[in-house]
Structure 1
Amino acid sequence: MPHAPLHAPALSVGPPDELTGSQAVFSTAEFRQRVANIQKALRPTGAEALLLTGPENIFWTTGRQTAGYFSFQALVVPLSGEPVLLVRQLEMTGAQASTWLTDIRAWQDGEDPAQALGALVAALGLRHLAVERNGWFVSQALAERIAEALATVRVSDGSGLVEGLRAIKSPAELEAIRRAAAYAQAGMVAAIEACREGASENDVAAAMMAAAISAGSEAMAMEPLVSSGPRSGIPHATWRRRRMDAGDGVFLELAASHDRYHAALMRSAWIGPPPAEAQAMMDAALRALDAALAAMRPGEPCAAAHNAAQAVIDAAGYNAAFRKRIGYSMGAAFAPDWGEGAILSLFSDVSRPLEPGMVFHLPATLRSYGAFTVGASETVIVTNKGVEPLSDLPRAMTIR
């Protein structure tokens, strides 16, 4: 069966041509190279095209971004030629403005997007489709309907193909992440300054977000983490109007964004002198972070950084206070997560070697669960010789 042309008429009338790429975050050449890299990686699979549904992977491939990604969208990347994007009708204008794509199709409200996808695949004449099975924004019910709509097509697993390419950032991506790091530092400086007896967690969160946004940050893929007193000993707790008292620890973490690329930063503060145990744990966390950063060199496995940090923590006797990975990849992100932890972790037994252009966030935290959390973090770029931390903010606990 011959393939239908990839530039067949769209299923609906889109916005005027002058909008194309007007809001794109990178040049058309940047995205063409990414598509070419996908096509090269796809060729050995035998599939005729790759189907993407995750917002991060669609964004990375095309620049497509919107707050309306809660509605189903799909990108078909063929072995040759241009990708075809399927979005909700309401999203057509934004899709054209944020991408350089020339073929954008639409499904209508009231229409089953799974059926629209099936019709698109049929119109393109595809017989073998690699599918991103681990896309997190497709419900089980929708996945079942998509499977039914593609029943006549051979489907293979294309999970991880794009993620493997995303792990190493281009110069343009690294520049966006550096800018995001500057916004995050501005937010952290303001948050630390707002920590004082009588101030509320909301006061601190408001100062943090206002400073980061004023510095240039766009929408953050996850809310900042601001917690105080016993609440600071609860992982991933955030502001809930609590007022700070003398003797409270304060946990502060945020990721700011530039063109959807994120950089994160975490610091600790204490209202008055900290207890000896908290200070000892803080010192151990900082030594663990230093050890992890020193272990990060091109060619070393991702596990090396974690193992170095874990050795410091174990020697200090805080194994029970640290039961997690030391870091995770950073880059393009949409809610609910500011990181790329599903792509690459700095953790035991992760054997992928570090390469220049990889970016990681390393939160070195130690917790007395339900009492306090202390530590610090850095977002770093792997270089030819080691790592480039993207913050120059002191890591020591701030006493307020």
Structure 2
Amino acid sequence: MTAPDDPLRGSEAVFPATEFRGRIARLQRRMEPLGAEALMLTGPENIFWACGRQTAGYFAFQALIVPLTGDPTLLVRRLELTGARTATWLRDIRIWEDGEDPAQALGAVIADLGIRRLAVERDGWFVSMALADRLARALEGVKILDGSGLAEALRVVKSPAELTAIRHAGRYAQAAMRAAIDACRVGTSENDVAAAMVGAAISAGSEAMAMEPLVSSGPRSGIPHATWRRRILQEGDGVFLELAASHDRYHAALMRSVWLGPPPNEARDMMATALRALDAALAAMRPGAPCSAPHEAAQAVVDAAGHAQAFRKRIGYSIGTAFAPDWGEGGILSLFTGVGRELEPGMVFHLPMTLRRYGAFTVGASETVIVTETGVEPLSDLPRDMALR
């Protein structure tokens, strides 16, 4: 447990205590209709958003207990205690020991807090089925309610402090992309390009990224989510580049295309279509428009050009705070057909507009944008057209 006068408390927190107090208060208001006495968060993104807790050791079980009134309680592995004290403003931090079942430790914390009605998020990535079974046994006698999606709904619209962090991340991503494009030369390896990209991002200010950058060339560039594997770049290759840089765990992503030598007519046509589609999607983004509108605008351009089979995905997804294995918040909100949620100022999205001939090449460009009162604010001014080397 953290002492009130702990000199480490909040010493490395990414935001002032007032930012997190406001988030907890909003979360508590959303809890009221559930009839729960507390909400348990286990996802690293939600825990970070609510209290600032971050570590490379988030693979070990952790839980944030947010009561309906009052201050939260955090449960972490003993090794993580110091980091939890420095990263958060919390006063009540409990621990579980190596060799101890964290489910039993959690049960003891819930009992000590006197909680009889507990809402839990059911879709956390880091609670296995086996652990979920043990948690259910440890919480026997506690009424379990569904608290899924409460934190995610609040994370979608970013605060001014969050937007500042994302703008920093956008600058890091642009520096990285410039370096990666410059590194694309015949005879250079994919590893060299990736090293230039990551090195530039880190030198510009980026912290750890929630997913590895994507660097692929030649036929490999036509495989979704392929990344560097020592291949030597050759004349006539297309090169696919994408990454998300981070600032205080907030991410901004960027994607560009490169061709070594003259691109074939098919690639030129698909690239031109992708750029028109991205422009159409961005033009469709304004407060009050549904999240489906940008996708449908892009899809119309792609369909009219005859490339529907090369575009079989959503146009974009929410992006913000992230931990591996994903740099996006695509599980929270997508820009896709059928998504009726209205766009609001302060939402942030990554729009990767790609067209792909599978197993041959991928072309396109992306932007991370902030929804404003009148439209969108792109976080990069890097030219979007295919770079020819």
Q: 1:324 aligns with which of 287, 292, 313?
A: 313
- For the 8 Å contact 1:76–1:84, the answer to whether it is kept is yes
Residue identity matched to 2:99: G
The Cα shift of 1:314 comes to 0.7
Matched, 1:255 2:244: yes
Q: 2:62 aligns with which of 64, 73, 76?
A: 73
- For the 8 Å contact 1:14–1:92, the answer to whether it is kept is no
Residue identity matched to 1:215: A
- For the 8 Å contact 1:15–1:93, the answer to whether it is kept is no
The Cα shift of 1:157 comes to 0.7
Rounded to whole Å, the distance in 1 between the matches of 2:295 and 2:111 is 47
**RMSD, aligned CA:** 1.0
Runs ≥4 residues deviating over 3 A: 13-16
- For the 8 Å contact 1:15–1:96, the answer to whether it is kept is no
Alignment-derived partner of residue 357 in structure 1:
346
Q: SS of the residue aligned with 2:7?
A: helix
Rounded to whole Å, the distance in 2 between the matches of 1:115 and 1:18 is 30
Matched, 1:375 2:359: no
Alignment-derived partner of residue 6 in structure 1:
none
Alignment-derived partner of residue 83 in structure 2:
94
Rounded to whole Å, the distance in 2 between the matches of 1:316 and 1:146 is 53
The Cα shift of 1:14 comes to 7.9
Alignment-derived partner of residue 38 in structure 2:
49
Taking the TM superposition and a 5 Å limit, the aligned residue runs for 1:377-396 are 377-396=366-385
Q: 1:207 aligns with which of 192, 196, 204?
A: 196
Q: SS of the residue aligned with 1:19?
A: coil
Matched, 1:229 2:218: yes
Alignment-derived partner of residue 233 in structure 2:
244
- For the 8 Å contact 1:183–1:212, the answer to whether it is kept is yes
Q: 2:130 aligns with which of 141, 144, 148?
A: 141
Rounded to whole Å, the distance in 1 between the matches of 2:10 and 2:274 is 45
Matched, 1:334 2:319: no
- For the 8 Å contact 1:14–1:93, the answer to whether it is kept is no
Task: Please give the per-residue CA displacement for 1:138-171, whole angstroms capped at 9, x wherever unaligned.
Answer: 1110011101111210001100000000000000
- For the 8 Å contact 2:251–2:321, the answer to whether it is kept is yes
- For the 8 Å contact 2:4–2:91, the answer to whether it is kept is no
Q: 1:172 aligns with which of 137, 161, 164?
A: 161
Alignment-derived partner of residue 13 in structure 2:
24
Matched, 1:313 2:302: yes
Matched, 1:109 2:112: no
Alignment-derived partner of residue 5 in structure 1:
none
The Cα shift of 1:16 comes to 7.7
CA 139–168 in structure 1, closer or farther in 2 if over 3 Å, else same: same
Matched, 1:292 2:281: yes
Rounded to whole Å, the distance in 2 between the matches of 1:240 and 1:14 is 49
Work out the percentage of aligned pairs sharing the same amino acid: 75
Matched, 1:132 2:121: yes
Q: 1:270 aligns with which of 237, 259, 283?
A: 259
CA 111–15 in structure 1, closer or farther in 2 if over 3 Å, else same: farther
The Cα shift of 1:15 comes to 11
Rounded to whole Å, the distance in 1 between the matches of 2:109 and 2:286 is 45
Rounded to whole Å, the distance in 1 between the matches of 2:142 and 2:299 is 48
Taking the TM superposition and a 5 Å limit, the aligned residue runs for 1:4-23 are 10=1, 17-23=6-12
Rounded to whole Å, the distance in 1 between the matches of 2:65 and 2:305 is 51
Q: 2:333 aligns with which of 344, 349, 352?
A: 344
The Cα shift of 1:26 comes to 0.1
Aligned residues: 389
Rounded to whole Å, the distance in 2 between the matches of 1:349 and 1:168 is 20
TM-score normalized by the length of structure 1:
0.96
- For the 8 Å contact 1:56–1:333, the answer to whether it is kept is yes
Task: Please give the per-residue CA displacement for 1:297-346, whole angstroms capped at 9, x wherever unaligned.
Answer: 00000000000001111111111101100000010000000000001000
Residue identity matched to 1:89: R
Q: 1:196 aligns with which of 185, 191, 207?
A: 185
The Cα shift of 1:377 comes to 0.1
Q: SS of the residue aligned with 2:74?
A: strand
5+ residue gaps in structure 1? 1-9
The Cα shift of 1:74 comes to 0.3
Q: SS of the residue aligned with 1:178?
A: helix
Alignment-derived partner of residue 107 in structure 2:
118
Rounded to whole Å, the distance in 2 between the matches of 1:15 and 1:45 is 31
Rounded to whole Å, the distance in 1 between the matches of 2:378 and 2:386 is 18
Rounded to whole Å, the distance in 2 between the matches of 1:275 and 1:373 is 12
